[in-house]
Structure 1
Amino acid sequence: MKLHDDLPVDHHLSQVYRIGAGLCGVALLVFGCLGLADGLPVFSTSGERVAGLSSNGLLSLVSVVTAVVLIGGAVIGGNVASTVNITVGTLFVLSGFVNLALLDSSANLLAFRIPNVLFSFVMGLVIATFGMYGRVSGKLPLDNPYWRHRHPRRAEEDTTSALARRAGPVALPGPPV
């Protein structure tokens, strides 16, 4: 699907994707920068508290890189921002499950603790929800570009009937009544 053909630049869905990616990206950027500014050890599995969460240098770096990806998606906007949000949100949820399994082990390279796992789940769901808004639903409106892409025949019929309604009644040739 080519969004630039189906979704106008000023369509409200693009703004939702951009705002979601931007807000979540800024939050992650602040968290990552705070950890990097504290000079945390890179591979410490015990971690230190930053903004209420356990962190180390590696988690701070991963947070900054993820923030740059989200903010980049927000700058580009449209379908790219939506896809970035869905992908990053899914990765956050998966990271929560993986790091839950790694708690209290030497393989806990990101120094996760239970609050980090909960944050990962919540942040992942928030980011993914921003990306899926207006794109994944059973009740998409008929003018939604994603609905139109999935149902091209009905979309064409709707467009044809809408054009006919705009044209008004058609005068047929013949004797006046």
Structure 2
Amino acid sequence: MKLSDELPVDHRLAKVYRMGAGLCGAILVTFGILGFTRKLGFFDTSGESIAGLSTNGLLSLISLVVGGLLLAGAVVGGNVASTLNMTIGTLFVLSGFVHLFILDRSANILDFGMSNVVFSFVMGLLILTFGMYGRVTGGLPHDNPYWRRRHPEEAEREADAARRSAAAGGMLGR
């Protein structure tokens, strides 16, 4: 079964995935655009900051691209948005760890400061939460497509019981 077949197109979880991708994508695109309006050098590490985060031209470009990907995921929606949120959220958290170790070193070509590291962790966890919502938990309701996928035998028994109940109700109505 393909991942895209797990979630019905009109399922209510798709709204959460779209909203999360759209919100986080808009924040990143705004940050990227503000960076480009300052005409920063591509690899400049002089400490220019926007909204309390240090930046340069390369970080602005990366923010625009990643934000654009999230906005595209918001447009597509469904499992695409969820999977994209989980992937990008994971990359943000990993980026936070990597940049935590390269602060104040020549390898810090994105001009990350501690505020950028904290932002990377927070944004990553936020995007991950939007992506995992309704997919990863112990208490999924039985109408959730992810629960049905993980418990096919029990889901089939419940579907059979519902069909028998509907058939009995139809015969009583005659």
Q: Same fold (TM over 0.5)?
A: yes
Q: Which residue of 1 aligns with 2:107?
A: 107
Counterpart code for 1:64: L
- Percent identity of equivalent pairs: 63
Larger Rg: 1
Structure 1 residue 36 corresponds to structure 2 residue 36: yes
Tell me the CA shift for residue 71 of structure 1. 0.7
Count of residues in correspondence between the two structures = 171
Aligned-pair Cα RMSD in Å:
1.5
Q: Which residue of 1 aligns with 2:83?
A: 83
Tell me the CA shift for residue 9 of structure 1. 2.1
Q: Which runs of 4+ in 1 moved over 6 A?
A: none
Distance 1:58 1:170, change over 3 A: closer
Counterpart code for 1:44: D
Instruction: Find the aligned partners of 1:54 and 1:102 in 2 and give their Cα distance.
Output: 15
Instruction: Find the aligned partners of 2:88 and 2:42 in 1 and give their Cα distance.
Output: 23
User: Does structure 2 retain, via aligned residues, the 8 Å contact 1:45–1:110?
Assistant: yes
Instruction: Find the aligned partners of 1:170 and 1:117 in 2 and give their Cα distance.
Output: 61
User: Does structure 2 retain, via aligned residues, the 8 Å contact 1:3–1:78?
Assistant: no
Matches within 5 A, 1:31-70: 31-70=31-70
Unaligned 5+ residue runs, structure 2?
none
User: Does structure 2 retain, via aligned residues, the 8 Å contact 1:45–1:106?
Assistant: no
Instruction: Find the aligned partners of 2:162 and 2:144 in 1 and give their Cα distance.
Output: 15
Task: Name the TM-score, length of structure 1 as normaliser.
Answer: 0.92
Tell me the CA shift for residue 18 of structure 1. 0.3
User: Does structure 1 retain, via aligned residues, the 8 Å contact 2:82–2:132?
Assistant: yes
Unaligned 5+ residue runs, structure 1?
172-177
Instruction: Find the aligned partners of 1:95 and 1:8 in 2 and give their Cα distance.
Output: 33
Task: Name the TM-score, length of structure 2 as normaliser.
Answer: 0.93
What do the CA deviations read for 1:57-101 (whole angstroms, capped 9, x no partner)? 000000000001101111111000000000000000000000011
Between stretches 138-147 and 43-52, larger displacement belongs to 43-52
SS in 1 for 2:16: helix
